[in-house]
Amino acid sequence: MELLFKLEQLEFEGPLDLLLYLVQKKKIDIRQLSISQLADEFLYYVNQMEELNLNVTSEFIATAAYLLELKSKSLLPMSEKEKKEYEYKRELLIRRIEEYARLKELTEQILNKSSADQYPVKVPYTFPKVDEKKLVKIVKAALQEVEVKQKVYIIKKENYSLEKIMEEIEEKYDVVNLFDLL
C-alpha cells in the first residue's frame, strides 16, 4: 500500500483533527477524496499511536471502525438502498470534517484576536488644561448629588409575644386544641 504522506510524531486533538489533517495534506476537495485512501491513512496513524490513553484511543478506534465500514461498503456491490445509506454516511463524515475545519479556523481567529488585544498599542494622550476652581466646584456638586441619593431607611421592629402569634395562627387555620377532642 502506498501512503499519501508520512506521519512523523504528530499530535492531534482527536480523530476529526487527524481526518482534517489528512484531507488538507492531500490538497484536494474533500468531496473528491477516496474514502478508501482516507481510511488507510487513518488506520496507519492509529497503528502508530504510542500513547495508550484509553479515552483518546477509543475515539480514534471508533472513527477507524466507521471509516472501515464505509470503505468496505464502497468496495462491495450495493443495492439502491445500500447506495443511499452509503452516500448518506459519506456525506455525514464530510460535513463533520468541514464543520470541524470551520470551528478550528474560528478558534484560531479568536485566539489571534485575543493575543492581539493582550498587548494594546500605546497612544500618547495629553490632558487638557483645567481650571482648578471649576474642577473643585464640579467635584463638590457631584458629591452633594451622591449624598442626596443616599437615603437611609429604618425598618421598625414590631414586638410579638408567643401568645399573640399562637392566637393569629389559631384564627388563620382554625386550630383545634388536642385536649378539646378528649
Helical residues (DSSP H) of the chain, grouped into ranges: 15-26, 35-48, 54-75, 80-118, 132-149, 162-173, 178-181
Q: Which three cell numbers stand for residue 132?
A: 482648578
Low-confidence ranges of the chain (pLDDT < 50): 1-9
pTM: 0.50
Reported as a single tens digit per residue, the pLDDT across 125-149 is 777 788 888 888 888 888 877 766 6
Percent of the chain with pLDDT over 90: 2
> Exposed (0-12), middle (13-18) or buried (19+): which is 4, by Cβ within 10 Å?
middle
